[in-house]
Structure formats: C-alpha cells, structure tokens
C-alpha cells in the first residue's frame, strides 16, 4: 500500500456523534478508495487529550497521522478536511503539512478543500439541507470565526435566498452574524415559529448546549424569550449523505479521478 488518505476534522469528544458524523464519512472513503490506507486525525488538541484521558481512546493530530503514514511506507498522501470553511483550523492543517514536507521533501502531500470552498459547493449545500417547504422558517446555527472566511456564512444565506428560500436564516456562535441578528430578521418578517438546526459537522457541545439547552443564553431560550416557538432537529451535517458527497467530491478533485471504485 503506497498511497494514503488522512480524514481530519476539528474532532469531538462525543463518541456517538463521532460515529454518526465523522466515522460515517471515513467509512465511505474507505469503501471508495479500497487500495489506500485511510486514517483519522483531529486538529483539536483539547479534544484529543480529553478522549485519551477519559476513554483511553487515542486520535492522531495531523502531524502524527503524517508520521504514521511515513512509518507505513506511504509516500503519496491526500488529506480531506471535514471542515466547513477555510478558516483557522484549515490553515493549521496547511502549516503542519508544510512543516512535514520541509522535513520530508520526497513525500507528496495534497490537501483538499473544506465544505464551502467553490461557488458550486454553496448550491450543493443548499440542495443538501433538506428543506422541503420553501415557506418553512428555519434557523441554522453555524460555528463562525474571526477569520475572514466567516463571510462564507453570509454567502451561503445569499445562495439560499437565490434558491427561493425566503425564511431560512444562518447565524453563528463566534462569527459576525449573531443570534440577535437572526432574531431581528425573524421579527421583521413576523415569524412566530422556527425549526432550529445546527450547521456544523457534528451535533456536539455547541448544538446540545449553546443551541438546544434550557440555559438562559441558549439560542432556543433566546428565541422563546422573543415569543418565537422552537422545534429542534439535532443532526450534524456529517450525517447527511448530500453533504458527505461534497467532501468526497473534493477528495476526488485532488486525486484527479472523477470515478474511483
């Protein structure tokens, strides 16, 4: 086995969510690239440490995964980031790859794109969101970032509008578009009931606590305080086949193969 694929994400300490949203994509990649060594990496050292300490469950960092490939004699390596935008975590992967290649110049390492990278990705994501009724009011909670690519969330909402969904909104926990901005838009349209969903790879801590909990500062509570009824759907993007397809397409692109079986 001379070729390998590293599937890397921020990670999660929730083992059930890991299986549903990360392992499911890894398994599809393994089925598609049967002659490749496929391995996992997380960019979050905090998540890696928690899993090791709590469960004695080891997960590699991207650098450790590259070194694992090296030990296995794999010199042609492809990395598929299970990330939403080309933000800080993506740049972290690129830095680690750059450092590895500097020390191992005879290795070929190619990094694919996150979910929202090409213009067509946005249209494909909209189609994958599974909103059957164009009049339904839906609020998605994204992570957001202080990185310039936080603008991707606004671009996605613009794409949603162009597709004819007038009552679908995207806010972020740590980005420019806050829940307060979303509430303002809902009130302007006199919307009294919404479906609240995470726009994140995994439905982990942010989805369970920041979005869906009964704490005063959760998105659910903030919406209800503003007289907006909330239905919850806690499903990570990694569980959605159409979203998985986009990641796999990005991997195919750097492989140069449109059909690999």
Q: Is the pLDDT of residue 229 over 50?
A: yes
Question: Taking each helix axis from N to C terminus, what angle separates 241-255 and 119-128, rounded to the nearest 10 degrees?
Answer: 150
Q: Is the pLDDT of residue 182 over 80?
A: yes
Q: Is the pLDDT of residue 56 over 90?
A: yes
Q: Is the pLDDT of residue 22 over 80?
A: yes
Of 36 and 261, the one with more pLDDT: 36
143, 147, 206, 250: the catalytic one is: 143
Of 135 and 76, the one with more pLDDT: 76
Dist CA 116 CA 14 (whole Å)? 24
Q: Is the pLDDT of residue 239 over 70?
A: yes
The pLDDT, as a whole number, for residue 2 is 87
The residue length of the chain stands at: 261
Dist CA 186 CA 192 (whole Å)? 8
pTM given for the model: 0.94
Helices (H) and strands (E) in the chain, counts: 11, 8
Dist CA 45 CA 141 (whole Å)? 24
Residue 178 falls within a domain, yes or no? yes
Model confidence band, residue 260 (pLDDT cutoffs 50, 70, 90): very low
Dihedral angle computed from the Cα positions of residues 223, 225, 226 and 229, in that order, rounded to the nearest 10 degrees: 50
Using DSSP's 3-state secondary structure scheme, residue 16 falls into helix
Whether 71 and 154 share a structural domain = no
Q: Is the pLDDT of residue 184 over 90?
A: yes
Residue 158 falls within a domain, yes or no? yes
CB 28 within 8 A of CB 21: no
Q: Taking residues 159-180, what's their average pLDDT? A: 96
Whether 82 and 137 share a structural domain = no
Residue 225 falls within a domain, yes or no? yes
Outline where DSSP puts E strands in 129-228: 138-142, 168-172, 193-199
What tokens appear for 88 in the block?
Answer: 């800080």
Q: What is the pLDDT of residues 118-159, one digit of tens each?
A: 999 999 999 999 888 888 999 999 999 999 999 999 999 999
Whether 182 and 136 share a structural domain = yes
Model confidence band, residue 181 (pLDDT cutoffs 50, 70, 90): very high
Q: What is the mean pLDDT of the chain?
A: 95
Residue 228 falls within a domain, yes or no? yes
The domain in which residue 191 lies consists of 131-237
Count of the separate structural domains present in the chain: 2
Residue 206 falls within a domain, yes or no? yes
Whether 232 and 248 share a structural domain = no
Whether 102 and 147 share a structural domain = no
* All residues at 6 or more sequence positions from 29 whose CB lies less than 8 Å from its CB, including other chains: 5, 7, 38, 80, 248, 251
The pLDDT, as a whole number, for residue 259 is 37
Q: Is the pLDDT of residue 97 over 70?
A: yes
- If one counts every other C-beta atom within 10 angstroms of the C-beta of residue 178, the result is 16
Whether 99 and 53 share a structural domain = yes
Is 206 among the catalytic positions? no
Q: Is the pLDDT of residue 257 over 90?
A: no
Whether 52 and 109 share a structural domain = yes
Residue 261 falls within a domain, yes or no? no
Whether 142 and 218 share a structural domain = yes
Model confidence band, residue 1 (pLDDT cutoffs 50, 70, 90): low
CATH code where residue 250 lies: 3.40.50.1400
Q: Taking residues 65-91, what's their average pLDDT? A: 97
Q: Is the pLDDT of residue 4 over 60?
A: yes
Whether 98 and 161 share a structural domain = no
Q: Is the pLDDT of residue 258 over 80?
A: no
The pLDDT, as a whole number, for residue 29 is 98
The pLDDT, as a whole number, for residue 256 is 66
Q: Taking residues 53-74, what's their average pLDDT? A: 97
The pLDDT, as a whole number, for residue 134 is 85
Whether 193 and 224 share a structural domain = yes
Whether 220 and 248 share a structural domain = no
Residue 105 falls within a domain, yes or no? yes
Whether 249 and 213 share a structural domain = no
Residue 14 falls within a domain, yes or no? yes
């Amino acid at each position: 086995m001379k070729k390998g694929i590293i599937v890397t994400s921020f990670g999660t300490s929730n083992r059930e969510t890991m299986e549903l949203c990360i392992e499911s994509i890894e398994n599809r990649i393994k089925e598609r690239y049967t002659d490749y060594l496929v391995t996992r990496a997380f960019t979050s050292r905090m998540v890696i440490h928690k899993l090791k300490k709590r469960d004695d469950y080891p997960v590699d960092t991207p650098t450790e995964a590259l070194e694992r490939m090296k030990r296995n004699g794999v010199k042609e390596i492809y990395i598929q980031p299970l990330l939403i935008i080309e933000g800080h975590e993506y740049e972290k992967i690129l830095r680690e790859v750059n450092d590895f290649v500097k020390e191992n110049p005879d290795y070929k390492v190619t990094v694919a794109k996150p979910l929202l990278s090409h213009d067509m990705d946005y249209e494909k994501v909209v189609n994958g969101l599974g909103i059957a009724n164009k009049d339904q009011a839906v609020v998605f909670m994204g992570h957001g970032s202080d990185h310039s690519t936080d603008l991707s969330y606004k671009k996605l909402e613009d794409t949603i509008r162009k597709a004819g969904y007038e009552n679908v909104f995207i806010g972020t926990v740590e980005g420019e578009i806050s829940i307060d901005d979303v509430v303002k838009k809902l009130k302007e349209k006199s919307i009294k009931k919404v479906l609240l969903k995470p726009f994140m790879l995994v439905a982990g801590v942010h989805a369970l606590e920041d979005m869906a909990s009964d704490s005063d500062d959760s998105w659910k509570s903030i919406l209800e305080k503003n007289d907006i009824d909330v239905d919850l759907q806690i499903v990570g993007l990694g569980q959605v086949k159409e979203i998985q397809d986009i990641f796999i397409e990005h991997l195919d692109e750097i492989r140069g193969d449109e059909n690999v079986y």
